[in-house]
Amino acid sequence: METGKRTISDLYEAIIGGFIPWAEARPDIRFVAILGSRARTDHPADDWADLDLLIVTQEPQYYVNTTEWIAKMGKPVLTFIEATASGEQKERRVLYEGMLDVDYSIFPASKIEELLNTQLQTFEENALMLANAFGRGIRVIVDKDRLAEKFRTIISGKGQLKLQPATYEEFIQVVNDFLYHCVWTTKHLMRGELWWALGCLNCYLPSLQLHMTEWQAHATHSENYDTWFKGRFLENWASPEVIMGLRTSFAHYDENDSIKALEASMNLFRQTSMMTAKLLSFQYPLEADKKISAWVKSQLSAHKRKRLQS
């Protein structure tokens, strides 16, 4: 896609080109890197990809609490603050003219120093998270303290973040969590709280389905099989049966459609979980599933009959 004679990539490069000298001139900014698709060679950026910038600064609140600085890189249409994927830091999201999406992740320099100065064995999880961000591709554009070298030392040999094999306790936790919330969703459907029920049906239950889908994929292929992060590129790595089942497991804002989607979600999750249990030599809690599925079916059937009679 082109805007005039300049491609979308050209426009993002112009933003980067304006950002670098501005950041270099600010003493509080110690490190800036491009992450995500615009730094990857695997699944690289297309015309719809945003620009992810990690900013390590000694004054994080300035970038969180003010907005005048974002105009240095282009003409903003809107901006807002949200939590980063880890939930620990903040990021400022900006839409510039042309709907160019730039995500400035603001990271306190003190936190980076704390991370880098901690012994590796005490922050293995953080090292893996860094590997997931940096291991898939990083383009350093500002580095005043040679932090890139330290990052690469930490994540050396770790590659992307890999899913650890499921334990039986984790497997049962996810299955029980899913079945419980099927009952929870049914009760709210019965009460007529469609919005509340759909929040679980279309958001929380799929998050548990994703857990099981990842475990199934790893159990089927290998623990090194790449399932990316939070469902990214799921259409490329999940089983065909899961992809097919997902087509009917999300609901419109409609009670009848919600009932059908709940039944489809339960069927898909059961299929995925039982296959995963077989692959991992786990015991699936079939009796609990049968009791809960029978109760859900009877309650929803009675509810539909009652509505038809009214």
Q: Which domain, by its residues, includes 82?
A: 2-155
Taking only the tens place, the pLDDT of each residue in 232-271 is 899 999 999 999 999 999 999 999 999 999 999 999 999 9
Residues 294 and 188 in one domain: yes
Q: What is the three-state SS of the chain? A: CEECCEEHHHHHHHHHHHHHHHHHHCCCEEEEEEEHHHCCCCCCCCCCCCEEEEEEECCHHHHHHCCHHHHHCCCEEEEEEEECCCCCCEEEEEEECCCEEEEEEEEEHHHHHHHHCCCHHHCHHHHHHHHHHHHCCCEEEEECCCHHHHHHHHHCCCCCCCCCCCCHHHHHHHHHHHHHHHHHHHHHHHHCCHHHHHHHHHHHHHHHHHHHHHHHHHHHCCCCCCCCCCCCCHHHHCCHHHHHHHCCCCCCCCHHHHHHHHHHHHHHHHHHHHHHHHHHCCCCCHHHHHHHHHHHHHHHHHHHHHHHHC
Amino acid (one-letter) located at 245:
G
Residues 233 and 188 in one domain: yes
Residues 111 and 183 in one domain: no
* pLDDT band (50, 70, 90) for residue 302: confident
Residues 202 and 146 in one domain: no
Domain boundary among 155, 183, 204: 155
Mean pLDDT of 4-16: 88
Residues 142 and 192 in one domain: no
Taking only the tens place, the pLDDT of each residue in 110-135 is 887 777 666 444 444 454 455 555 55
Domain presence at residue 162: no
Residues 208 and 270 in one domain: yes
Q: What is the mean pLDDT of the chain?
A: 87
If 0-12 CB within 10 Å is exposed, 13-18 middle and 19+ buried, where does residue 74 land? Answer: buried
The DSSP bridge partners found for residue 7 are: 2
Domain boundary among 121, 155, 189: 155
**Number of structural domains found in the chain:** 2
Residues 62 and 173 in one domain: no
pTM of the entire predicted model: 0.78
Taking only the tens place, the pLDDT of each residue in 195-205 is 999 999 999 99
Domain boundary among 155, 187, 207: 155
Mean pLDDT of 75-85: 90
Residues 48 and 179 in one domain: no
Residues 116 and 148 in one domain: yes
